[in-house]
Chain A
Amino acid sequence: MSAMKALRDKNADLADLEKILNPTDVKSSVMPRWQRKALQRSDSSTSNDRFIPTRSAIDFDQAGHVMSSSENSSSSEGESDESKEARQVHADRLKAGLLDAESRVLAYKQKAPAPKAGYVNSLKVLYTAHGSQQVRKAKSTRHIPSAPSRVLDAPDLLDDYYLNLTSWGANNCVAVALGPTVYVWNAGTGAITELLTLDEGDDYVCSVSWLPGETGAGHLAVGTSAGSTELWDVAASRALRRMDGHAARVSCLAWNGHCLSSAGRDATIVHHDVRIRDHATGSCVGHQQEICGLSWSPDGTTLASGANDNCVMLWSAAQTGVRSQAPAHSLTDHTAAVKALAWSPHDRHVLASGGGTADRCIKLWNASTGINLNSVDTGSQVCALAWNPREKELLSGHGYAENQLSLWKYPAMARVKDLKGHTGRVLALCTSPDGSTVLSAGADETLRFWDCFGTAPAKKGKSRAAALSKGVVCIR
């Protein structure tokens, strides 16, 4: 009996306990786990189970700031206005620095004025590295100044087509024969010295020629109207030799090493070896009239001579020791006297010759075979020829009517430029030792210097293209 009562009491106690533990009148928003799971089973799409934070979406700085600023604003009530304002500014700036995503990018509506039309950014010119930025044509035409860089006065320069009165030596000195006197003008210093004066009657100097090469610098060969050839030491102003061999004036001289070839009105060429006592070593006979052009090839194998008989004759060097040598070739294409002769420095056998008033042609020859390669009518008497040592160009000096120097592109023989300035016909052309300047002697008694061949690459600083000084210096 008591056991059953005890049990009943226990049940009542249990019921009370249950009532306490599971109060039904308490409202709770938290769903009991079993209920949640049941819901999840029925609707399995959402997992309400776990809270997964996405850190990338959280701006921790903002969050921290908002939290801290709310604390700050609440505590700042007691402070003065000014410091409060400063704090506000400070805080705002901090905010501005932190909140990058919230900044606006603003641009002024009106745009900046454009630079002048046609303005090219000059940085390229100032700072460009060599070669990398620019596209350059392979051979851009160089600027050839139209005016001479220098004009020298040469009074009493004989206006004789057949004479060769100027020579430019390897020592950068120009020898000019004015009447009976030979002057030497130093192109580097501008100093003028009178070398010699022929004192016999109407004697005059007919030709001058410097001994080529560095070893011979300072030795000048002078051909006179009396038929003698003199060799002078210019530095000592002293005649070293006086060589005879001609019956008439010596109007052309040409050097080949130690061999000096002289030719003139007697239509013979005499070879002199200047080192030995019996200097006359050989002679060339073939021309009928005065020889006015004489030139040895750069390789020293062939001598070219042009005369008043319209012939160009080529003589072999192997036979210079022979008396009365016959020509290897005789070229008769010209129809007037041939004074201008020039060997090409680029092609071994190419010879250029220019004819006088009746002919007016420049003819190009293969000297080893004697074949005419090209003939160009220039329209004017050709007095002298000079090749550009660096480019494939030929310069010719002319007479009536323009008295110009014409620059030709070789082998096309296209006229590149005309250099005008002489008021009388061009009598002679000489090239400077550095190959950049050409001297032209004119019948107007002037020597004009033209920078037409371009500067030598090693001496870039010396180019005087920009400032043209037309100083007239009296050579006397």
Chain B
Amino acid sequence: MADGATSTISLRGSVDLVQEFFEYAINSILYQRGIYPPEEFRRVAKYGLSMMVASDDGLQTYLKKILAQLKTWLEEGDVQRLVVVVTGVETNETLERWTFAVNACDTENAAPSTAGDIKAITKQIQAIIRQITASVTFLPLLDEACAFDLLVYTRKTAAVPGAWEDSDPKYIADSQEVKLRSFTTSVHSVEAAVAYKDHDA
């Protein structure tokens, strides 16, 4: 939610934007990588694109719970990264790791006019989503059944509810990493990257 008079974005507005972006990015990854059957997705218009969002109830409730907690953490400024991990069910091996690093912007230095415009932010988010879609061209095929997991890197001092537990980072053994685009509101900046298991290695 941007202020009407100026085009700066408040902390709350930025948190909303980032959380929404995460929601759609996670759904896109689930659809594009074929982790769930394509019939379980429906089209939604967002960011000027036609996005695929999960329509399955179980999956939606699960994502909602996680995203709600993520929002709380974002407001506190506790979130450092969100990682979507794709593991093979049989081998239990991490195949792909999508990283979204959240950084607090240095408000003093950022030029107030450029970073704050909603349109510019939407364009940047659009670019990232397009890149996620286009990533199928270089990501190796997932030829086994896969499951996904969401990891959140928070500060040590963050308040962690009981439903969350500590986990290992689930790094990939020999990985290739591709850095994707980033977007920035005037309060947060989110950088995306994907690491995948290099089959040729």
> Chain A's nearest CB lies how many Å from the CB of B163?
5
Give B29-73 as 1s and 0s: 1 = Cβ < 8 Å from A's Cβ atoms. Answer: 000011111101000000000000000101100100110010000
Give A112-127 as 1s and 0s: 1 = Cβ < 8 Å from B's Cβ atoms. Answer: 1111100111111001
Interface residues of B in 75-91 (CB under 8 A from A): 77-78, 80-81, 89
A97 touches B149 (CB 8 A): no
> Chain B's nearest CB lies how many Å from the CB of A97?
6
Q: How many residues of B contact A (CB 8 A)?
A: 49
- A97-B103, A113-B58, A123-B136 known; A103-B146 Cβ under 8 A: no
Whether A102 is near chain B, meaning CB under 8 Å from some CB there, is: yes
A87 CA to B168 CA, complexed, in Å: 32
Residues of chain A with a CB closer than 8 A to B56's CB: 113
- A105-B169, A123-B136 known; A97-B80 Cβ under 8 A: yes
Give B148-160 as 1s and 0s: 1 = Cβ < 8 Å from A's Cβ atoms. Answer: 1111111110101
Whether B120 is near chain A, meaning CB under 8 Å from some CB there, is: no
> Chain A's nearest CB lies how many Å from the CB of B25?
15
B38 touches A122 (CB 8 A): yes
B59 touches A113 (CB 8 A): yes
Whether A93 is near chain B, meaning CB under 8 Å from some CB there, is: yes
Q: Which of B16-24, B111-119, B137-145 contacts A (4 or more CB under 8 A)?
A: B137-145
Among the listed A92, A99, A104, A107, which residue makes an inter-chain contact with B149, where contact means beta carbons less than 8 Å apart? A107
A123 touches B34 (CB 8 A): yes
Among the listed A109, A112, A127, which residue makes an inter-chain contact with B164, where contact means beta carbons less than 8 Å apart? A109
Whether A416 is near chain B, meaning CB under 8 Å from some CB there, is: no
Whether B3 is near chain A, meaning CB under 8 Å from some CB there, is: no
Question: Taking chain B's interface residues, is the majority helix, strand, or loop, or is none over half, making it mixed?
Answer: mixed
A94 CA to B108 CA, complexed, in Å: 13
A104 touches B156 (CB 8 A): yes
Among the listed A89, A96, A111, A128, which residue makes an inter-chain contact with B141, where contact means beta carbons less than 8 Å apart? A128
Whether B167 is near chain A, meaning CB under 8 Å from some CB there, is: yes
- A104-B166, A105-B169, A122-B38 known; A112-B155 Cβ under 8 A: no
> Chain B's nearest CB lies how many Å from the CB of A413?
40
> Chain B's nearest CB lies how many Å from the CB of A331?
56
Whether A21 is near chain B, meaning CB under 8 Å from some CB there, is: no
A112 touches B59 (CB 8 A): yes
Whether A90 is near chain B, meaning CB under 8 Å from some CB there, is: yes
Whether B147 is near chain A, meaning CB under 8 Å from some CB there, is: yes
Residues of chain A with a CB closer than 8 A to B154's CB: 103-104, 106
Whether A110 is near chain B, meaning CB under 8 Å from some CB there, is: yes
> Chain A's nearest CB lies how many Å from the CB of B86?
11
Looking at A89, A92, A106, the one whose CB has the most chain B CB atoms below 10 A away is: A106
Whether B104 is near chain A, meaning CB under 8 Å from some CB there, is: yes
Whether A141 is near chain B, meaning CB under 8 Å from some CB there, is: no
Among the listed A92, A102, A103, A121, which residue makes an inter-chain contact with B34, where contact means beta carbons less than 8 Å apart? A121
Specify the chain A residue showing the minimal Cβ separation from B78.
Answer: A96
Residues of chain B with a CB closer than 8 A to A128's CB: 141
- A109-B163, A113-B62 known; A122-B147 Cβ under 8 A: no
Give B83-111 as 1s and 0s: 1 = Cβ < 8 Å from A's Cβ atoms. Answer: 00000010000000000000110010000
A111 CA to B144 CA, complexed, in Å: 19
A133 touches B143 (CB 8 A): yes
Specify the chain A residue showing the minimal Cβ separation from B85.
Answer: A107
B143 touches A104 (CB 8 A): no
B107 touches A90 (CB 8 A): yes
- A121-B143, A123-B34 known; A109-B77 Cβ under 8 A: no
Whether A108 is near chain B, meaning CB under 8 Å from some CB there, is: yes
> Chain B's nearest CB lies how many Å from the CB of A101?
9
A123 touches B151 (CB 8 A): no
Residues of chain A with a CB closer than 8 A to B145's CB: 115, 119-121
B156 touches A103 (CB 8 A): yes
> Chain A's nearest CB lies how many Å from the CB of B142?
5
Looking at A89, A97, A121, A124, the one whose CB has the most chain B CB atoms below 10 A away is: A121
| Chain B residues within CB distance 8 Å of chain A | 11, 33-38, 40, 56, 58-59, 62, 65-66, 69, 77-78, 80-81, 89, 103-104, 107, 136, 141-156, 158, 160, 163-169
A-B contacts, 9 listed (Cβ < 8 Å): A97-B103, A103-B154, A105-B151, A107-B166, A110-B62, A111-B147, A112-B147, A122-B37, A123-B136
Apart from A97-B103, A116-B37: 8 A-B pairs, beta carbons within 8 A: A103-B154, A106-B152, A106-B154, A106-B166, A107-B149, A110-B65, A111-B149, A121-B143
Top 4 A-B pairs ranked by shortest CB distance? A93-B104, A107-B167, A113-B58, A123-B34
